[in-house]
Amino acid sequence: MERYYQPEIETASREQITAWQNERLVKQVHHVWENVPYYRKKMEEKGVTPDDIQSIDDLHKLPFLTKDDLREGYPYGLLGMPLSECVRIQSTSGTTGKRVVAFYTQHDVDLWEDCCARAITAVGGTKDDVCQIAYGYGLFTGGPGLNGGSHKVGCLTLPMSSGNTDRQLMFMTDLGATILCCTPSYAAYLAESIEEKGLKDQIKLKAGIFGAEAWSEDMRHDIENKLGIKAYDIYGLTETSGPGVAFECSEQTGMHINEDHFIAEIIDPDTGEVLPEGSKGELVFTAITKEAFPLLRYRTKDICVLSRKKCSCGRTHVKMSKPMGRSDDMLIIRGVNVFPSQIETVLLQQGYPANYQLVVDRVNHSDTLEVMVEMAPEMFSDSLAEITKREKELVNALKAMLGIMAKVKLVAPKSIARSEGKAVRIIDNRKI
């Protein structure tokens, strides 16, 4: 039997959802106009006032927001409430090392946790479950978001954070975890370790909630078979709160977007034009209930398709496909957002020329990043020890900027092929 955390919302009629969206959008536009001078200026530049927005049919009149706006407004420019009303920040890496900082009031945290609780309930979670959360805790939204959702459902929550696989497996077996939340790559790694250690008959897992990075249907089947569970997708981004913006139900054919909190649009990434339902394009979100960080028409850069086909689970909220790629050059490596410009910044700071190539692959379901860097002629050396020392220094500098380990390979000057058009900086060999 399908379970819902907030049945009256999750299965509401289309008329009801539209009524909520109309009312909340109008209210939110007033809130932003009065409290976020940065966005008010954008509206004024476009010649739009709150009076022009009477319903969701007027949404297209509002200006877009992008990560660049968040960078420009860093740290408080998009804040919609006095700081004294904010109780939390979460953060993600930005395009040049400046981070995106999202703010939350207690009410925002509460609604975010409701969204995560819906996702946990949709995979069968109840107060009798033991929910092991192996997403990172801290500034990343994965751990804190699902932690809050798990508490709301009443599960016994294991706040493991990511890493330390032996400890993960010890608690998983000793405390009988039934739901696992982590990135799909870490789930695959845990599954392999369980197989290697012969622990399969000691685990009680029944479901997994995996997101924060792209993963294929093949990967889903592999994890499901190895762990003997059902593996569900979950989507979100720091700017719109974190995980739980959308989540999969028993049908496993796309993720329901929590439309009582977020209005979704699909646009042409080149022209910004709103595309008809069923088109593939860039996903744009308008947060209609958030107080502290009320982003309107935020361009996610995620490419996907929306569908309103009736779902067998009984939920009525629109479904998004798995993201099929990005309209910018952001890479997601083991769940961490990485921009080539961050890598370039490190190379330049360390005195290297900006001739580099990033080779991304997925080995045993885990992402690998290799940074091939040309040495400047004066650095070039025949001494292997000298080159190894330089590579180590770069590995450390990249770790400090990106938060993940990358392999560094220093190559001779002028050995990376020059392109006649745009430089080919990224070779992504992952099949997703």
The binding site for ligand DLL (CB under 6 A) comprises 92, 135, 141-142, 211-214, 233-238, 242-243, 300, 302, 322-323, 326, 332, 337
Q: How far is the CB of 149 from ligand DLL (least distance, A)?
A: 11
59 to 53, 96, 418: CA distances (angstroms): 7, 31, 44
Residue number with the smallest Cβ distance to ligand DLL: 211
State the minimum distance, in angstroms, from the CB of residue 336 to ligand DLL.
7
**Which CB atom, from 61 or from 88, has the smaller least distance to ligand DLL?**
88
DSSP string, 307-326: E-PPPTTS--S-EEPPP--B
**Closer to ligand DLL by Cβ: residue 193 or 216:** 216
Tell me whether residue 86 or residue 100 sits nearer to ligand DLL (CB atom): 100
149 contacts 117 by C-beta, under 8 angstroms: yes
For 106, 148, 203, 243, 244, the CA distances from 113, given in Å and listed in that order, are 11, 5, 27, 9, 8
Output the smallest distance, CB 28 to ligand DLL, in A: 21
Choice between 208 and 243, CB closer to ligand DLL: 243
Tell me the closest approach of the beta carbon of residue 184 to ligand DLL, in angstroms: 8
Give whichever of 22 and 125 is closer to ligand DLL, judged by the CB atom: 125
Closest separation in Å from C-beta 88 to ligand DLL: 15
- List beta partners, residue 256: 247, 319
Of the pair 239, 259, the CB lying nearest ligand DLL is at: 239
Contacts (Cβ under 8 Å, ≥6 apart) of 208: 123, 179, 180, 181, 182, 187, 223, 227, 229, 230, 231, 232
User: For the CA atoms of 246, 249, 251, 255, what is the dihedral angle to 10 degrees?
Assistant: 0
Q: 44-80 b/e with 16+ CB inside 10 Å = b? A: eeeebebeebeebebbeebbbbebebbeebeeeebbb
How many CA atoms are closer than 13 Å to the CA of 25, on its beta-carbon side? 26
Distance of closest approach, residue 138 Cβ to ligand DLL, in angstroms: 12
State in angstroms the smallest separation of the CB of 424 from ligand DLL: 22
Nearer to ligand DLL, 141 or 161 (CB): 141
**Alpha-carbon span 323 to 320, nearest angstrom:** 8
Nearer to ligand DLL, 418 or 431 (CB): 431
Residue 52 CB, shortest distance to ligand DLL, in Å, is 29
Residues listed for the chain:
432
| CB of residue 45 to ligand DLL, shortest distance in Å | 26
Q: Which residue's CB is nearer to ligand DLL, number 294 or number 323?
A: 323
Token pair for residue 154? Answer: 């009443």
First-to-final CA distance of the chain? 32
Strands 156-159 and 130-133: parallel
- Contact (CB, 8 A) for 262 and 240: yes
In three-state secondary structure terms, 74 is coil
